[in-house]
Structure 1
Amino acid sequence: MTTTDTTQAPEPRRSWLRDHSELGVGVLLLAIGVLVLTDALTMDVDIAQRGPVGPKTVPLVVGIGLVLVAVLLTVDVLRGGRGEAEGGEDIDLSEPSDWRTVLLLAGVFLAFAVLIGPIGFPIAGALLFWGAAFALGSRHLDRDPLIAAVLSLLTYVVFNNMLGVPLPGGPLMEVL
């Protein structure tokens, strides 16, 4: 007669913070919300308000929303709520992160931030759109730069001319 040992080794004890890791998102949202509210409340506006919605309205609503979501998320996590694990059909959670793509995108955004002043939004925006498409895997070198240029010019025209949000035009807009 053989006996089998049915006792199992105890599961390693997880720390309280690891079990409540969603609290980090709550803290981040709270910090961003407080920052947005602080900036909105200390904003010096010299523009005469023409209606009930002024330049402080949207930042105040966004800041209050961020703080509210942070508080609700924190309460939910402390009551035992947990975020659902990623269940996307096209995501293999056993695979490591694609750091090449992340670094390429970060480089594209950094280049955009550096170049928008000297060369203007239309050119920097086209580089941003094309660079993001390239970093995310598009290799249509004949089509992507053309689409990026059209998107960038369209965005510039909508914001600068139609919405009245001034964007740096750079040398390209000085010629036109």
Structure 2
Amino acid sequence: MTTPTTDTTAAPAPARRSWLRDHSELGVCVLLLALGVLVLTDALTMDVDIAQRGPVGPKTVPVVVGAGLLVVAALLAVDVLRGGRGQAESGEDVDLSEPADWRTVLLLTGVFLGAAVLIEPLGFPVAGALLFWGAAYALGSRSFHRDPLIAAVLSLVTYAVFNNLLGVPLPGGPLMGVL
């Protein structure tokens, strides 16, 4: 009769992830904490020349936002340390195996920077139209007859709403003297 042999070698231990990897959401907490401190510091050191009318002044909203960021950072940190985890990506239109579309990102960045440079010499209506049209092109629209018209109308409407209705002056550029 043969005696059964026992294997004394243990199965390899499962790969252990580091503590920081298991608690990676703490990075978001640190970001929220830093942002909250920045907003609060900026709000509390703000030099206000306007006479305050009523209980709500220009510092109120930044202080509330900064305090809210600190509270959210603390609550999220407690949740993560108690074992809470964020939900995995479940978007049906996102294929995580595909690489990033850097061409679109670079096109959008270029269009945005171009609009920022052109807004002062050309004015918001022209720079805004170029921004809207360029963004539509970068995101895949290839209707060369329709897109510039929509961009021009969108830019002029945005200019009129901000400049005339909201009282936020935007640079009109040389075309506003003509119109």
- TM-score normalised per structure 1: 0.82
Give 1:100's aligned residue: 103
Equivalent residues, number: 171
CA distance in 2, matches of 1:152, 1:51: 37
Larger radius of gyration: 2
Give 1:17's aligned residue: 20
Give 2:65's aligned residue: 62
Give 1:28's aligned residue: 31
Give 2:93's aligned residue: 90
Which of 138, 144, 147 is 2:147 aligned to? 144
Give 2:42's aligned residue: 39
CA distance in 2, matches of 1:13, 1:163: 57
CA distance in 2, matches of 1:157, 1:57: 29
Give 1:111's aligned residue: 114
Cα drift, residue 84 of structure 1: 0.6
Per-residue CA distance 1:60-84 (angstroms, 9 max, x = gap): 3332222222222222212211111
Secondary structure (helix, strand or coil) at the match of 2:17 reads coil
CA distance in 1, matches of 2:116, 2:24: 32
2:163 matches 1:128: no
CA distance in 2, matches of 1:159, 1:60: 26
- TM-score normalised per structure 2: 0.81
Structure 1 unaligned runs (5+)?
Answer: none
Identity %: 81
Per-residue CA distance 1:13-63 (angstroms, 9 max, x = gap): 222222222222222222222222222222223334455444333333332
2:157 matches 1:154: yes
2:176 matches 1:173: yes
Secondary structure (helix, strand or coil) at the match of 2:105 reads helix
CA distance in 1, matches of 2:56, 2:108: 35
